[in-house]
Homo-oligomer: A and B are copies of this chain.
């Protein structure tokens, strides 16, 4: 029942010897969601032993090259490996000509369907769900149309306490009511869900915010997320440059995490000006202590 973030790349626009462009794969109990697909993503996946064919969904935040130039190679490789399972790509409206170009010039022999889900929401909207998880997209604040993503486990059915069944002589219908998380209402009173049932585990959630300048609604949309990945392209001293390029600084990322009340913050998308970003960490933790720096090839487990 794993919920694992695989970090393929932590560079911003210019890759370095240690950092590939943005790309991640979130493994939710064996079902893989890819988020952004910078150049070299397929080679990084090979290094991490991630199966190309298990990717069901690809979320594209925006069509800057450092977030999508690995897509053509990955889609081609999937085709050459004989993929037939459909692939869902969630991307902004201006992704359409990118996909058209690929299909027209490199789409020969592709046996799988690509379903392109167009993102154009102005607040968080659920764009996909299966039995156990759901995917939401929401707008970010960048130079071009850009979206963030939340992938979260659904609330599991509540477990009904055995002693409550005996004590109240619960009927099957009443047990069903409690499993759905509701109270049982009888003529002679209420059996509260809290007393008679419990959540077997707290659903985990992951949010991805890159690239973005800070904006008021963001923290509210991220309320209660377990793990937040937020870009932190620049240190605090470069706040002006961050504003000019619609990116975030260390302090801005940490403030959003604090305000949203997330459990953990991980940052990336570092400016190539800084071969080492270790000094980012002090700035980040001065506001939000539960912060870590992401590095290429990191595997981050989100425990229940």
**Do B65 and A72 have beta carbons less than 8 Å apart?**
yes
Q: Is A40 an interface residue (CB 8 A)?
A: yes
Q: Which residues from B are CB-within-8-Å of A43?
A: 15, 17, 20, 39-40
Q: Is A101 an interface residue (CB 8 A)?
A: yes
- The SS class assigned to the A binding surface is helix
**Do A72 and B73 have beta carbons less than 8 Å apart?**
no
The residues in A between 115 and 165 inclusive whose CB is less than 8 angstroms from any CB of B are: none
Contacts A39-B39, A97-B105 hold; do A65 and B73 have CB atoms under 8 A apart? yes
**Do B80 and A73 have beta carbons less than 8 Å apart?**
no
Q: How many residues of A contact B (CB 8 A)?
A: 30
Contacts A101-B101, A105-B97 hold; do A42 and B63 have CB atoms under 8 A apart? no
Q: Is A46 an interface residue (CB 8 A)?
A: yes
Contacts A39-B39, A73-B39 hold; do A47 and B17 have CB atoms under 8 A apart? yes
A-B pairs, 9 with minimum CB distance: A39-B73, A40-B40, A65-B76, A69-B73, A101-B101, A17-B46, A69-B72, A15-B43, A65-B106
